[in-house]
Structure 1
Amino acid sequence: MAEEFVKSVDDGLKLSKRIYFGKDRAVSPPTQVAMEKASQYLPTAPMVYAVIFDPSIVDNPDIPSYQPHVHGRCDPPALIPLQMNDIVLEAECYLDTVFVTVSGSWRVHCVMGSRSCDCLLAIPMSEQGSILGVEVDVARKSYCTRLVAIDEKIDMEKLAKARDGGFLKSLIFTMTIPEIDGGSNLSIKVRWSQKIFSNGGQFSLDIPFSFPEYVTPAGKIISKREKIWLNLNYGTATEVLCKETSHPLKEIRRQAGKLCFLYEADVLTWSKIDLNFSYMVTSSKISGGLLLQSPSVHDIDQKEMFCFYLFPGNHQHRKAFKKGVVFVVDISGSMKGSPLENVKNGLCAALSKLDPEDSFNIIAFNGETFLFSSSLELATKEKLENASQWISINFIAGGGTNILLPLNQAMEMLSNTCDSIPLIFLITDGSVEDERQICEVMKSNLKKRGSMAPRISSLGIGLYCNHYFLQMLALISRGHYAAAYDADSIDLHMRRLFTAASSTILANITIDTLECLDALEVYPFHIPDLPSGSPLIVSGRYQGNFPDSLKAKGMLGDMKNFVIDLKVQKVEDIPLDQVVAKQQIDVLTAQAWLLEDKAIEEKVAKMSIQTSVPSEYTRLVLLQADKGKQASESFGIQEVSNKIDLQSLVDSKGCKAILLPSLGVGFGNLNATVENIRPGSVEGYSSESADIMIKAASNCCGRLADCCCCMCCIKVCSRMNDQCFVVLTQFCTSLACFGCFSCCSDICCSGTDG
Structure 2
Amino acid sequence: MYNNDDDFTTGVRDGLRLAKRIYYGNDRSVVAPKPVTPMEKATKSLYPTSPMVYAVIYNPAIVDNPDMPSYQPHVHGRCDPPALIPLQMNDISFEVECYLDTAFVTMSGSWRVHCVMGDADCSCRVAIPMGEEGSILGAEVEVARKSYSTKLVVDENGEEESAAVVEDGGLLKPHIFTLTIPQVDGGSNLSVKVRWTQKVIYKDGEFILNVPYSFPEYVTPASKKHPKKERIQLKVNCGLTTDIACKTTSHPLKERKREPGKLDLLYETLVLTWSSTDFIFKYHAFTTNLFGSVLLKSPSPQSIDQRDMFSLYLFAYPDKRRKVFRKEAVFIVDVSESMQGNTIELTKNALIAALSKLEPDDFFGIMAFNDQTHLYSSTLELATNESLKKANEWIDTNFIASGGTNMSIALDQALELFSGTSKSIPMVFFITDGATENERQICEVMQKQQKNKGSALFPRIHTFGIGSFCNHYFLRMLAMMSRGHYDASYDADSIETRMQMWASKASSLIMTNILIDGPDDLEIYPSTIPDLCYNRPLIISGRYKGKFPEKLEAKGTIADMSNFTIDIEVQHTNDIPLEKMLAKNQIESYTTQAWFSEDKELEEKVAKISLETGTVSEYTHMIMLKTEPHYKPSKSGKTGKKQGKKKPDQEGLKTEKIYTLHHLGLGFGNMVATFENIPPRFVRAPSQTDKIVSATGNCCADVFSKCCCMCCIQACSRINNQCSVVLTQTCGFLTCSACCE
Shared fold (TM-score, shorter chain, > 0.5): yes
TM-score w.r.t. length of structure 1? 0.85
Alignment match, 1:469: 474
Deviations 1:7-36 (A, max 9, x none): 211111111122122222252442322486
Alignment match, 1:195: 199
Question: Where in structure 2 are the equivalents of 1:227-266 lying within 5 Å?
Answer: 227-266=231-270
On the 8 A contact 1:626/1:655 being kept in 2, the answer is no
Distance 1:582 1:51, change over 3 A: same
Q: 2:213 aligns with which of 198, 209, 214?
A: 209
On the 8 A contact 2:160/2:621 being kept in 1, the answer is no
Query: Identity of aligned pairs, percent?
Result: 55
Q: Give the secondary structure class of the aligned counterpart of 1:580.
A: helix
Moved more, 418-427 or 32-41: 32-41
Q: Kindly provide the amino acid, as one letter, of the partner of residue 318 in structure 1.
A: R
Alignment match, 2:457: 452
Alignment match, 1:416: 420
Alignment match, 2:85: 80
> Where does structure 1 differ by over 6 angstroms across 4 or more consecutive aligned residues?
157-160, 681-686
Report the alpha carbon displacement of residue 449 of structure 1 after superposing the two structures with TM.
2.2
Q: Kindly provide the amino acid, as one letter, of the partner of residue 19 in structure 2.
A: S
Alignment match, 1:556: 558
Alignment match, 1:42: 47
C-alpha separation in 2, matches of 1:465 and 1:684: 17
On the 8 A contact 1:160/1:659 being kept in 2, the answer is yes
Alignment match, 2:657: 656
Q: 1:273 aligns with which of 277, 288, 304?
A: 277
Report the alpha carbon displacement of residue 39 of structure 1 after superposing the two structures with TM.
4.0
Question: Where in structure 2 are the equivalents of 1:589-604 lying within 5 Å?
Answer: 589-604=591-606
Alignment match, 2:108: 103
C-alpha separation in 2, matches of 1:181 and 1:537: 48
Q: Which runs of 5+ in 1 are unaligned?
A: 632-651, 691-711, 721-754
Structure 1 residue 302 corresponds to structure 2 residue 306: yes
Alignment match, 2:724: none
Report the alpha carbon displacement of residue 452 of structure 1 after superposing the two structures with TM.
3.0
C-alpha separation in 2, matches of 1:218 and 1:72: 28
Question: Where in structure 2 are the equivalents of 1:145-544 lying within 5 Å?
Answer: 145-151=150-156, 163-450=167-454, 451-514=456-519, 516-517=520-521, 520-544=522-546
Distance 1:415 1:150, change over 3 A: farther
C-alpha separation in 2, matches of 1:584 and 1:39: 38
On the 8 A contact 2:98/2:238 being kept in 1, the answer is yes
Alignment match, 1:127: 132
Report the alpha carbon displacement of residue 349 of structure 1 after superposing the two structures with TM.
0.1
Q: Kindly provide the amino acid, as one letter, of the partner of residue 672 in structure 2.
A: N
Report the alpha carbon displacement of residue 387 of structure 1 after superposing the two structures with TM.
0.3
Moved more, 528-537 or 541-550: 541-550
C-alpha separation in 2, matches of 1:310 and 1:152: 43
Deviations 1:316-365 (A, max 9, x none): 33111110000011000000111100110000000000000000000110
Q: Kindly provide the amino acid, as one letter, of the partner of residue 83 in structure 1.
A: Q
Structure 1 residue 672 corresponds to structure 2 residue 673: yes
Distance 1:684 1:92, change over 3 A: closer
Q: Give the secondary structure class of the aligned counterpart of 2:314.
A: strand
C-alpha separation in 2, matches of 1:547 and 1:418: 32
Moved more, 308-317 or 323-332: 308-317
On the 8 A contact 2:112/2:189 being kept in 1, the answer is yes
Q: Kindly provide the amino acid, as one letter, of the partner of residue 593 in structure 1.
A: W
Distance 1:311 1:177, change over 3 A: same
On the 8 A contact 2:63/2:117 being kept in 1, the answer is yes
On the 8 A contact 1:200/1:316 being kept in 2, the answer is no
On the 8 A contact 1:293/1:570 being kept in 2, the answer is yes
Deviations 1:616-650 (A, max 9, x none): 1111111111135589xxxxxxxxxxxxxxxxxxx
Q: Give the secondary structure class of the aligned counterpart of 1:587.
A: helix
Report the alpha carbon displacement of residue 157 of structure 1 after superposing the two structures with TM.
11
C-alpha separation in 1, matches of 2:305 and 2:686: 48
Q: Give the secondary structure class of the aligned counterpart of 2:624.
A: strand
Q: Kindly provide the amino acid, as one letter, of the partner of residue 604 in structure 2.
A: E
C-alpha separation in 1, matches of 2:380 and 2:271: 60
C-alpha separation in 2, matches of 1:576 and 1:375: 47
Distance 1:161 1:673, change over 3 A: closer
Alignment match, 2:26: 23
Q: Give the secondary structure class of the aligned counterpart of 1:87.
A: strand
Deviations 1:59-89 (A, max 9, x none): 1112222222211111000001111111001
Distance 1:19 1:310, change over 3 A: same
Report the alpha carbon displacement of residue 658 of structure 1 after superposing the two structures with TM.
1.5
On the 8 A contact 1:202/1:314 being kept in 2, the answer is no
Q: 1:615 aligns with which of 614, 617, 623?
A: 617
Q: 2:17 aligns with which of 14, 26, 30?
A: 14
On the 8 A contact 1:620/1:662 being kept in 2, the answer is yes
Alignment match, 1:751: none
Deviations 1:456-487 (A, max 9, x none): 00000011110100000000000000011112
Q: Kindly provide the amino acid, as one letter, of the partner of residue 462 in structure 1.
A: G
Distance 1:470 1:587, change over 3 A: same
Q: Kindly provide the amino acid, as one letter, of the partner of residue 524 in structure 1.
A: P
Distance 1:35 1:278, change over 3 A: closer
On the 8 A contact 1:282/1:313 being kept in 2, the answer is no
Alignment match, 1:141: 146
Distance 1:57 1:296, change over 3 A: same
Report the alpha carbon displacement of residue 94 of structure 1 after superposing the two structures with TM.
0.5
Q: Give the secondary structure class of the aligned counterpart of 2:13.
A: helix
Moved more, 91-100 or 212-221: 212-221
Q: CA RMSD in A?
A: 2.4
Q: Kindly provide the amino acid, as one letter, of the partner of residue 657 in structure 1.
A: I
Task: Tell me: higher relative CO, structure 1 or 2? Use CA pairs within 8 A at least 6 residues apart.
Answer: 1
Q: Give the secondary structure class of the aligned counterpart of 2:442.
A: helix
Deviations 1:644-699 (A, max 9, x none): xxxxxxxx96423311111112111111111111012889999xxx9xxxxxxxxx
Q: Give the secondary structure class of the aligned counterpart of 2:609.
A: helix
C-alpha separation in 2, matches of 1:329 and 1:91: 39
On the 8 A contact 1:463/1:668 being kept in 2, the answer is yes
C-alpha separation in 2, matches of 1:681 and 1:469: 18
Moved more, 238-247 or 323-332: 238-247
Moved more, 217-226 or 101-110: 217-226
Alignment match, 2:639: none
On the 8 A contact 1:222/1:268 being kept in 2, the answer is no
When the two structures are aligned, how many residues end up with a matched partner? 668
C-alpha separation in 2, matches of 1:254 and 1:685: 52
C-alpha separation in 2, matches of 1:34 and 1:242: 37
Q: Kindly provide the amino acid, as one letter, of the partner of residue 392 in structure 1.
A: D
